[in-house]
Structure 1
Amino acid sequence: MPAMRALLAQLEQRCGWRSLTVDGHGCAQEWRWLDTQADGPATILLPGAVGDGAMFVRTLLALGERMRLIAVTYPALSDPVQLADGLAAVVAHLGLPPGRVAGSSFSAYWLQFYGLRHPQNVTSLVLGNGFVDGTDLAAHPMFERQFVESISAQDLHAQWLARVRATPNAPLQRLQEIMLAERQSPVNLQARFLGVVRSQICPPLPLPDTAITVLDCDDDPLIAPQVRERLRRQYPGARHISLPSGGHYPHVLNPRAYEALLAQPA
């Protein structure tokens, strides 16, 4: 994995990790982020269940010198309200004006609650490869609710790492392996999986349709066609973008299309 490690090292040398302890809803949790600190409006990037903010390593390196990107690692929380309020605390700490936030998979789910609770912070939400509630992924054996709630954090982490290591060697596989083997704790991974399987539909957002983009990929192996359509129906007036390729991680597997989307004005 030397090439991927080199990219991650280059990113972290250029940006550096910053952190904030957020004390909300009765618990203190650390939030961390990478900030390219370029001029102009900021776009916040949120990873899915696997990995930290550096899952966007290619995006940050490709666009970070000409636009401000802030890739956030969120703590071991499963509740979308806690996550939404924690992100709002980070935004306040950074003194950011209203801006664009792009979520992937699980974070695309709880990002809807950020728009619900903190609409004053939002000019644009990008819901990438997301879902409406936990029933959308229940058919996948690794996201079956009883399984996730009964397995230990260590065993869940070990099983998911084994699945990643069994896939063909490729940039996404190498990135996920580094994340799981070295950077993401079992407790953090389990919290995100619990957030997926326990997720419930978000109430209507107090945002204009033009502020929402629903992004999906035709070849997503996790988000089935009917799940993609259900999220589109949830936001019928939103901008709907379907990429022909990109799998569940278009920022890794179809970076040009993903970067082109972010490069557009929010």
Structure 2
Amino acid sequence: MHDLIDRLESRYRWSSLDCEGVTWRWLDTAGHGPAVILLPGSVGDAAMFVRTILSAGERMRLIAITYPELPDPRRLSAGLKAVCEHLGLPPAVVVGSSFAAWWIQFFALHYPEQVRKLVIGNGFTDGSDLAANPLFDAAWVGSVSPQALHATWLERVQKTPVSPLQQLQKLMLEQRQSPENLYARFLGVVKAQACPELPVASKDIVVLDCLDDPLIPPAAQERLRMRYPNSRHVRLPSGGHYPHVLNPDRYEGVLLDVAFE
């Protein structure tokens, strides 16, 4: 994974924007195809999409964004809008994974004119969908320090079998993601409330999930799909909670289909 990240960062340059006291960072492939914004979940920065960016970055204009330590979907949405304005982006395909899949719904709520398509990937409706998992217990997250939460997750990752995902998460937590950033995202998850109805056409919404997702229970997946009953539902047979890492070809195929519709 270190080699892939090195290739990514030698090919594309990081840019940044300060907005309301926090910093947004991104990689822009400047590809000639449609604009597609990629936003990672709780663990990791924009380079979590390394396989997708290296493979498809010339066919689409992929803007992979590392968002700051904010749990509030309104501030995250306003910051993303500022990045879009800074880049002069037309309405884009906005893709969120996990925590970002939740808060991009609020981006679409407040700034529908910026959204051509919305891809809600491995997401959830509100914090109750993950409450049964001890690592997303609201009482624990609310009482633990950012440093302790970060250390807990790093230890958890270090103990899992070596795999591309394990190596990528380990790299992120050891070198690239601060305790404050990780903590803000977890706080956002456990405090998450369902987004109101979106002013976006159902045909422009895609709900993407994986049969083998270990974090989002089947009932929570179904609940999210039923929240958008007339949208496009895509279920991958494999990919876990990170199809952009574990099933990159199928994931890339979905993005290409959506972007070029």
Q: TM-score w.r.t. structure 1 length?
A: 0.96
Deviation at 1:40, TM superposition (A): 2.6
Counterparts of 1:19-168 in structure 2, within 5 Å, are: 19-23=16-20, 28-168=21-161
User: Which sits farther off after the overlay, 155-164 or 38-47?
Assistant: 38-47
SS of equivalent to 2:181? helix
Query: Over residues 88-113 of structure 1, what are the superposed CA-to-partner deviations in whole Å (9 max), with x where a residue is unaligned?
Result: 00000000000101000000000000
Partner residue in 2 for 1:220: 213
Q: How much does 1:79 deviate? A: 0.4
2:9 counterpart residue number = 12
Give the letter aligned to residue 18 of structure 2.
T
Contact 2:101 2:119 in 1 (8 A): yes
1:58 is paired with a residue whose SS is: helix
Percent identity over the alignment is 60
> How far is 1:193 from its partner?
0.2
Name segments (4+ residues, structure 1) moved above 3 Å.
Answer: none
Deviation of the 1:65 alpha carbon:
1.8
**TM-score, normalised with respect to structure 2:** 0.98
Amino acid at match of 1:176: Q
Letter aligned with residue 20 of structure 1: L
Mapped partners of 2:27, 2:221: distance in 1: 30
- TM-aligned CA deviation for residue 185 of structure 1: 0.2
Deviation at 1:147, TM superposition (A): 0.3
* 1:67 CA drift (Å): 1.5
Comparing 59-68 with 108-117, greater Cα deviation is found at: 59-68
Unaligned runs of at least 5 residues, structure 2:
none
The DSSP-based 3-state class of the residue aligned with 1:38 is: coil
Q: Within 5 Å, which residues of 2 pair with 1:172-251?
A: 172-251=165-244
Letter in 2 for 1:173: Q
Q: Partners of 1:108 and 1:261 in 2: how far apart?
A: 15
Partners of 1:189 and 1:99 lie apart in 2 by 26
* Cα distance in 2 between the residues matched to 1:243 and 1:176: 22
The secondary structure found in structure 2 opposite 1:7 is helix
- Asked if the contact 2:120–2:206 (Cα under 8 Å) also holds between the matched residues in 1, the reply is yes
**What is the distance in 1 between the residues matched to 2:19 and 2:34?**
24
The CA distance in 2 between the partners of 1:206 and 1:246, in whole Å, is: 30
Distance 1:261 1:47 in 2: 17
The answer (yes or no) to whether the contact 2:33–2:61 under 8 Å persists in 1 is yes
Shift in Å, 1:16: 1.1
Q: How many Å separate the matches in 2 of 1:250 and 1:171?
A: 12
What amino acid does structure 2 have at the position aligned with 1:34?
Answer: L
Q: Secondary structure at the match of 1:78?
A: coil
What is the CA–CA distance in structure 1 between the aligned matches of 2:189 and 2:143, rounded to whole Å?
A: 15
**Cα deviation digits, residues 2-54 of structure 1 (max 9, x gap):** xx11110110110110000012xxxx110000111111321000000000000
- Letter of the 2:51 counterpart: R
Q: Is the 8 A contact 2:95 2:101 kept in 1?
A: yes
For structure 1, the 5+ residue unaligned runs are none
Residue type matched to 2:63 in 1?
I
RMSD: 0.6
Q: Contact conserved, 2:33 with 2:58, CA < 8 A, in 1?
A: no
